[in-house]
């Protein structure tokens, strides 16, 4: 496969996208900056919080602006129980005519960590209802394996708490997840800058979903482009294969055949 194609393409549930960057739509200074940042990101998948956006008609809404140009991924942000998440996903499917959903079931308002006890039955229920489920979860290999086994289309482990910008806090868990499951791995939450995105892709993750790191940047449009380039660089490095780490130096110039002085 051509290296450029392999680097850019992301396939989820049989649908192929030309970008590994998934981007959110909240917290931008204004709507025009949001649109410009999304364009700069190169993203094809745009996530929208169903519980925070009116699904009714009347005026040009977010879905009207984005629906024809991007693959909309409704999410269940703000849900704290499996029941609420399932109901929200069903509302989104009816209103937006999509069975794709980014599943979020939050444990508490302070940390915004996923509530695994509620997440697993919500995911199982939505899969049975015919949804293509992309669950936001902890960077826990056991949870990710359970989500794979129940039929989710991808797993979305956090790198750090939502909106924290702390970067990849546990690269070892992400490596284990990569080794143990065959689903696409989309790092979701905690990415702060382009180098964080590059590290995630270098570890073998398939993509990044982020919002705050771009929307909250001093220049969201420039940061969106930086993230795009970081993702592409990280994926290229993963496909190329880094050299092993060594304690001592290895000469880059061979010593055999050198002129003796």
Active site residues: 102
How far apart CA 212 and CA 131 sit, in angstroms, is 27
Cα 225 to chain centroid distance, Å, stands at 16
Structure tokens, 3: 């290296």
- SS3 per-residue string spanning 114-128: ECHHHHHHHHHHHHH
How far apart CA 130 and CA 128 sit, in angstroms, is 5
Characterize the bridge pairing of strands 21-24 and 71-75.
unpaired
DSSP string, 86-100: HHHHHHHHHHH---E
């Amino acid at each position: 496969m051509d290296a450029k194609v392999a680097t850019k393409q992301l396939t989820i549930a049989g649908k192929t996208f030309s970008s590994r960057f998934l981007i959110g739509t909240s917290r931008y200074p204004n709507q025009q900056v949001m649109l410009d940042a999304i364009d700069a990101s190169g993203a094809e998948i745009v996530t929208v919080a169903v519980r925070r956006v009116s699904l009714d008609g009347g005026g040009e809404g977010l879905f009207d602006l984005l629906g024809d140009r991007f693959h909309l991924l409704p999410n269940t942000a703000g849900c704290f129980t499996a029941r609420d998440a399932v109901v929200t996903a069903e509302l989104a499917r009816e209103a937006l005519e999509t069975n794709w959903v980014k599943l979020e079931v939050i444990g508490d308002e302070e940390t915004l960590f996923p509530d695994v006890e509620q997440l697993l039955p919500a995911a199982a229920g939505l899969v049975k209802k015919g949804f293509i489920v992309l669950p936001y979860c902890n960077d826990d290999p056991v949870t990710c394996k359970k989500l794979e086994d129940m039929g989710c289309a991808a797993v979305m482990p956090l790198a750090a708490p939502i909106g924290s910008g702390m970067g990849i806090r546990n690269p070892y868990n992400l490596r284990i997840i990569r080794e143990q499951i065959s689903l696409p791995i989309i790092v979701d939450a905690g990415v702060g800058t382009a180098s964080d995105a590059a590290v995630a892709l270098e570890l073998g993750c398939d993509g990044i979903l982020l919002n705050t790191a771009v929307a909250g940047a001093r220049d969201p449009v420039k940061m969106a482009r930086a993230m795009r380039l970081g993702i592409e660089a990280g994926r290229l490095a993963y496909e190329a294969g880094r050299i092993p780490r060594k304690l001592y130096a290895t000469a880059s110039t061979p010593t055999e055949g050198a002129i003796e002085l």
